[in-house]
Amino acid sequence: MTEPTPTHHPNPAGIRRIAVLTSGGDAPGMNAAIRAVVRTATFEGIEVVGVRRGFSGLHRGELQLLGARDVANTIQRGGTILLTARSHTWRTPEGRERGARHLREWNVDGLIVIGGDGSFHGGHFLQQEHGVPVIGVPGTIDNDLYGTDHTIGYFTAVETALDAVDKLRDTGASHERIFVIEVMGRHAGHIALDVAVAGGAEEVFIPEDGKPVSDAIAAVRDSVAKGKLGSIIIVAEGYPGGAQGVADAIQAETGYETRVSILGHIQRGGSPVSSDRILASRLGEASVYALMEGRSDVMVGRGAGGITYTPLHETWEKRKDVSRELYRCAKTLSV
């Protein structure tokens, strides 16, 4: 087998210098995406400017040149070496105008935004108002962006949550307790559903499904009747009342000892698993190529085994549903 030789990508847009930033909540794999952007651009003879602290830093002019060595030994690190922040000033036309001015002063030909729907809003308006070519890279543990099968950080967040569930099941069974575990997912139940199936949960509650808490009560009673030593209930944070509401209802109606564990921000941290590193590397590379091809105001994603391009506004205007087949599977296997 002959080893493939890297060839230079066509650059009809004449890109000579690009900028990259991370914005919003951090996600494991963001550093792998930054690394891929920098090294792909370097290979293509394009300079890279790193923007610290997201749009907040762009507004303040926190820019610096990045080279291939600056991103060495980062692919395995969680968080983001560029730091991230939420910016209220960027929500104003004046804030975006100032950021665009900084990009012009640095002779930037295009901007790559790694983040979620809020970050994509910021990039979209920058492109619309100031003509700056913008490419979005989906970096959010919630996996809630339309236009890509998975988002960077999702796989690691699921593994982190699942590890916690496994440990809580051990202690729950030892004490014959019910554990109601809350995972992240303010508007989407992708993490909750995956963790429920992989963790063998008796019930799962997600924002996409408005089923009543009485389902949890019935599931717990059924588990006890079958002789199970403990029960695991998974709740996405966006479900009304959250894990505490579900636990309170179970204890009040059944009298069974019930404990709540809210995993919280631990799901955002840690070294990214291989799937997130690979996804981030592919999408980081694709984002540079997209700018070189003259694309703008789109998100690069993965679908049907290849790279996809979705208009930024569609990533938040269109809804990405959870897998209904997996939801059915969760119910079938909880018997």
142 catalytic, yes or no? yes
Per-residue pLDDT in tens (0 to 9) along the chain, 335 residues = 566 778 999 999 999 999 999 999 999 999 999 999 999 999 999 999 999 999 999 999 999 999 999 999 999 999 999 999 888 889 899 999 999 999 999 999 999 999 999 999 999 999 999 999 999 999 999 999 999 999 999 999 999 999 999 999 888 878 878 899 999 998 899 999 999 999 999 889 998 887 888 888 888 888 888 877 678 999 999 999 999 999 999 888 888 888 999 999 999 999 999 999 999 999 999 999 999 999 999 999 999 889 999 999 999 999 999 989 998 898 888 77
Q: How far apart are CA 201 and CA 166, in angstroms?
A: 10
Q: How far apart are CA 80 and CA 7, in angstroms?
A: 29
3-state secondary structure of 203: strand
3-state secondary structure of 232: strand
Report pLDDT for 273: 98
Q: Which stretches within the chain are classed as H helix?
A: 30-43, 54-60, 93-105, 117-130, 154-175, 190-198, 214-225, 242-254, 274-292, 312-317, 324-332
Question: What is the separation, in whole angstroms, between the first and last Cα of the chain?
Answer: 49
- pTM of the predicted structure, to 2 decimals: 0.93
Question: Nearest-CA neighbor of 271 among 38, 7, 32, 97?
Answer: 32
Catalytic residue among 109, 117, 142, 297: 142
